[in-house]
Amino acid sequence: MCRRIFGLILERRWGYLYLHNLGVPEKWQMVDVYGLDPDLLATVPRPVLAVLLLFPCTDKYDEHKALQEAEINEKGQTVSDNVYYLKQAVTNACGTIALIHSVANNAEQIQLGDGHLKQFLDDSMALTPEERGELLQKAEGIINTHKELALEGQTEAPESDEPVNFHFVAFVEKDGTLYELDGRKAFPINHGPTARNTLLEDAAKVCQAYMKRDPDELHFTVVALTAAA
């Protein structure tokens, strides 16, 4: 779902449909972030609830992931118990997982309506990240919503084990801390203090670090979950 979801979620129309078909109220939307400099960030509607980064899966990502996890395992980090995190159990699920992370960690503000996503969150709230990932594989309502939109967009839904070239991660603010939520990593990544009104700018700095680690790659895309303009 990571590669095909590029055409479904990053286009505003598809992002709108996918979120709202899963019960997200229409007052919230996905918008493109056209650049990470202050002037372009200032054009993004507020409040920003989450930032999503799409980037190429390369050796640089895998190398950094291994080093980052090893450092955290050695030195430790603080992660709020209020962070909702799920592990990616299948290859093609990163786009859906990034959306779930974005919505689940802002559930009180979003006021999610009844539907497949609310049911999944209710069912998975008390589970471990690994158990949540396994439950997502069985969440037919969420899976079928993606497939229906893929068919409408004449985009063939990928097999669960199809190789992917791109990956999604989400950035959210929880209890005054910026967290990177990547279902392929062993745990959430604490990126230090942030606030709701600086989430976009603080997440942009982490996105820029991703880009600097892989300067030969040009296919980075940033979107934000925001209030509708």
pLDDT of residue 219 exceeding 90, the answer is no
Q: What is the mean pLDDT of residues 50-60?
A: 92
What average pLDDT does range 58-72 have in this prediction?
A: 95
Q: Which of 7-11, 22-26, 209-213 has the highest mean pLDDT?
A: 209-213
Instruction: List Cβ neighbours of 44 (8 Å cut-off, separation of 6 or more).
Output: 31, 33, 200, 224, 226
In the predicted model, what is the mean pLDDT of the chain? 87
Structure token digits, residue 152: 């409408």
Q: What is the mean pLDDT of residues 23-31?
A: 91
- Going by CATH, does the domain composed of 2-227 fall within 3.40.50.300? no
Candidate list 2, 101, 146, 167, residue with the active-site label: 167
Which is more confident, 11 or 74? Answer: 74
pLDDT 10s digits, 174-214: 999 999 999 999 999 999 999 999 999 999 999 999 999 98
Domain ranges within the chain, ordered by starting residue: 2-227
- The SS3 of residue 37 is coil
At 154, the pLDDT band (50, 70, 90 cuts) reads: very low
The pLDDT score that the predictor gives to residue 16 is 63
Under a CB-based contact definition with an 8 Å cutoff, are residues 103 and 113 in contact? no
Q: Give residue-wise pLDDT tens across range 72-125.
A: 999 999 999 999 999 999 877 888 899 999 999 999 999 999 999 999 999 999
DSSP string, 67-131: HHHHHHHHH-----TT-------SSTTHHHHHHHHHHHTTHHHHTPPSSHHHHHHHHHTTS-HHH
State the pLDDT at residue 218: 79
Look up 167 and say whether it is catalytic: yes
Which of these is catalytic: 2, 94, 101, 146? 94
- pTM for the model stands at 0.89
Please tell me the distance from the alpha carbon of residue 160 to that of residue 39, in angstroms, as a whole number.
40
